[in-house]
Chain A
């Protein structure tokens, strides 16, 4: 008998604080697996966000820097420019990358910094209690949109990946989903490609991952994956954007 699947070296064997069925755990594991497969654990520096994944550095066994809310790409820019031989990536949620950090994100992308970004889109602010995010869908009920998001007063869901794909400095943008086993495998490939782009000095690569937040969607974990597949994927269609 041979072990064909187990915890990878870069992922610490500690319990995470995430809720049951949370997509963060899956994406943490995928990043750790990609880093080990590319054999870059010793030269990787992760930049962790503010949000649910704020203590991701406790779960990964490689160097990490905590950034101020939304400023992950500004911090990552500094690290990469000072230590160009290191592999630098940011891990950011939608409240971090698409709300408070929109300016930093757009300008880092426009400068074409040679960085990898893993962007977790779960349409709500999970850490602070499930408030409406820029990515919240029309009609979706959250703590601050109890009647559902209304496009007349709150605007439309922000498709930040499509927005960034317009910029000349951006090398690749891909959106994938963690709604199924196939989706998770595709997400891993996308993350791996984004890290490889950085290793080959190709430039700014972003992977948007549609991730479940069962607690604040008020659904069971299994229903959450169905919701990603049937509702969220219509507004944020997975696939290669650039």
Chain B
């Protein structure tokens, strides 16, 4: 199964990845990162490895493995 690695500290919380994920595998985290913003959290249940999240991420926080 595919999965992504998300750099929690680099994430700026724009949530664009959440809006494009076809499987709904990304969610806003409840905790804060060092920047003081709520980053995105990967649920890791049903990732297809489409890399849409990584393509739309403006900060290159996401690595995709398949």
Real binding pair: yes
> Which listed residue, B16, B57, B58, touches A24 by the CB 8 Å rule?
B58
Instruction: Give CA–CA (A4, B58) in the complex, Å.
Output: 18
Instruction: Give CA–CA (A184, B40) in the complex, Å.
Output: 21
Question: Does the CB pair B51–A20 fall under 8 Å?
Answer: no
Question: Does the CB pair A25–B66 fall under 8 Å?
Answer: no
List CB contacts (< 8 Å) of A197-222 with chain B: 214, 220-222
List CB contacts (< 8 Å) of A175-229 with chain B: 180-181, 184-185, 214, 220-222, 225
Chain A residues near B63 (CB-CB < 8 A): 3, 5-7
Instruction: Give CA–CA (A4, B55) in the complex, Å.
Output: 11
Q: Which residue, of B51, B59, B62, has the highest number of chain A Cβ atoms within 10 A? A: B59
Question: Does the CB pair B59–A15 fall under 8 Å?
Answer: yes
Number of interface residues of A (CB under 8 A): 30
Instruction: Give CA–CA (A200, B50) in the complex, Å.
Output: 33
Asked if A167 is an interface residue, CB under 8 A from chain B, the answer is: no
Chain B residues near A225 (CB-CB < 8 A): 16, 19
Question: Does the CB pair B58–A5 fall under 8 Å?
Answer: no
> Which listed residue, B10, B20, B54, B58, touches A22 by the CB 8 Å rule?
B58
Question: Does the CB pair A4–B51 fall under 8 Å?
Answer: yes
- Shortest CB distance B33–A (Å): 11
Question: Does the CB pair B56–A26 fall under 8 Å?
Answer: yes
Question: Does the CB pair B10–A5 fall under 8 Å?
Answer: no
Asked if A18 is an interface residue, CB under 8 A from chain B, the answer is: yes
Instruction: Give CA–CA (A214, B56) in the complex, Å.
Output: 15
Question: Does the CB pair B65–A15 fall under 8 Å?
Answer: no
Question: Does the CB pair A20–B12 fall under 8 Å?
Answer: yes
A181 and B20 in contact (CB under 8 A), knowing A20-B12, A221-B14? Answer: yes
Question: Does the CB pair A222–B19 fall under 8 Å?
Answer: yes
Question: Does the CB pair B64–A6 fall under 8 Å?
Answer: yes
Chain B residues near A184 (CB-CB < 8 A): 55-56
A26 and B58 in contact (CB under 8 A), knowing A4-B51, A222-B15, A222-B19? Answer: yes
